[in-house]
Amino acid sequence: MTSTSKLTDDLKDRIKSTLKEIAVQEHSAPNKQMLKDMPGRIVLACPYCGDSHTDDTKKRGNLYWGTLQYHCYNCGHHTNIHTMAKDFQVRMGQSQDTFNVIDYIQSNKMKVKQSDALQHNILKKLNDIAITVDEFKKFAHAEEIQPGDWIWFKLKERLLHNRAEEFLYSPKTYKLWILNFGANGNIIGVQSRRMKGYGQRYLTYDIGKLYEEMKKEHGLTEEELARVNKASTLFGIMQLNFQRDVTIFEGPLDAKFMSNSLALATAGRSTEEFDEMATVRYMFDNDKTGKKKMIEKLKKGRSVFMWQKFLQDFKLDKYDIKDLNDLMLKCYELKNDAHKKINDYFTSSQLDLWYI
């Protein structure tokens, strides 16, 4: 196999032909079938989600020449050109092209800078439009939580009372607000949890939804808004250090029990933009959905938590433990220090599929 350390112009042309074939195959509107050259990338109407359904000139799919990674800023789908071609059953122009493309993707896989993967310019924009705590308190009729408050005792039941400053509470609507802070201590997103009464238990608000509800103007383009919205519901995104292990959880409450962690607010959110980062690992819930997601990650060589092995080793498998918060509560109740061994139970070996 011939290795390639850079993309030749001929290979770039054939990759563009592959993208064009996909666009024509998946879109009927002529505008959506067109590709657009941009510095360092090709943009196209996303073939996965169809892109905008109201404006056929919108092109929010991006293929980056530096890595051959593809990302859509409409649906969040992330992949690479090799997988993309397979997804749509389109062959590369020459037989050798496939090998060269795979070689190039692998060679550049771990060279993706953190700033490229997380779009630090977008994080800066998000931080710039973050909402002050006082603004949000006024909008949500929310209050700070004080020791002795009813909601403080509810937090204590979950071992979270020592982090009460990371929450707000609206007494009239019985809503606990879980805050996602920007780098300057302002709010970039929230998740509400209804503590009493009827209605949806959890609601997640991205920064765009907050601006809409508060009738504020953000001044962002549609593409910028889509990107900051996605980042704003990554709880803890502004506090991460990617030089250390980063643990990704489904929910914000679990993430509060582990330093340098990130919460998705839902297991259904795409996390493929993090899969290229060597320090990222996954600890989804100990349920059918969470295990399925971790098995998918493990098959891709990503590091995941072995719930079954951990619970069996520490004789905790007879209890109903569905997430890290449950585990911490049970350890506290039993005076068991099993939680101190969590870091020993992450694996990236497919031989450990049985233990998930």
Question: What CATH number is associated with residue 315?
Answer: 3.40.1360
Give the pLDDT of residue 54: 80
Give the Cα separation of 289 and 354 in Å (integer): 16
Identify whether residues 92 and 149 lie together within a single domain.
Answer: no
Give the pLDDT of residue 114: 42
Question: Does some domain include residue 327?
Answer: yes
pTM listed for this prediction:
0.67
Identify whether residues 143 and 204 lie together within a single domain.
Answer: yes
Residues with Cβ within 8 Å of residue 322, at least 6 apart in sequence: 285, 286, 287
Q: Is 93 helix (H, G, I), strand (E, B) or coil?
A: coil
Give the pLDDT of residue 4: 46
Q: Indicate the residue among 174, 191, 220 that finishes a domain.
A: 220
Domain that holds residue 57: 9-111
Please state the domain count of the chain: 3
Question: Does some domain include residue 225?
Answer: no
Give the pLDDT of residue 266: 67
Q: Give the Å distances, CA to CA, from 121 to 73, 116, 177, 217, 224.
A: 14, 9, 27, 19, 10
Question: Does some domain include residue 228?
Answer: no
Geometric angle at alpha carbon 212, from 225 and 182, rounded to 5°:
60
Identify whether residues 170 and 95 lie together within a single domain.
Answer: no
**E strands, the chain, where?**
36-38, 41-44, 61-64, 69-72, 78-80, 167-170, 175-181, 187-194, 202-205, 246-249, 261-263, 280-282, 303-305, 346-347
Question: What CATH number is associated with residue 59?
Answer: 3.90.580
Question: Does some domain include residue 232?
Answer: no
Q: Indicate the residue among 190, 220, 250 that finishes a domain.
A: 220
Q: What is the pLDDT of residues 124-137, one digit of tens each?
A: 889 999 999 999 99
Nearest CA-CA partner of 101 in 87, 114, 85, 77:
85
Residues with Cβ within 8 Å of residue 157, at least 6 apart in sequence: none
pLDDT under 70 in the chain at which residues?
1-5, 76, 109-120, 199, 266-268, 276
Question: Does some domain include residue 120?
Answer: no
Q: What is the pLDDT of residues 57-98, one digit of tens each?
A: 888 899 988 888 888 877 768 888 999 999 999 988 777 888
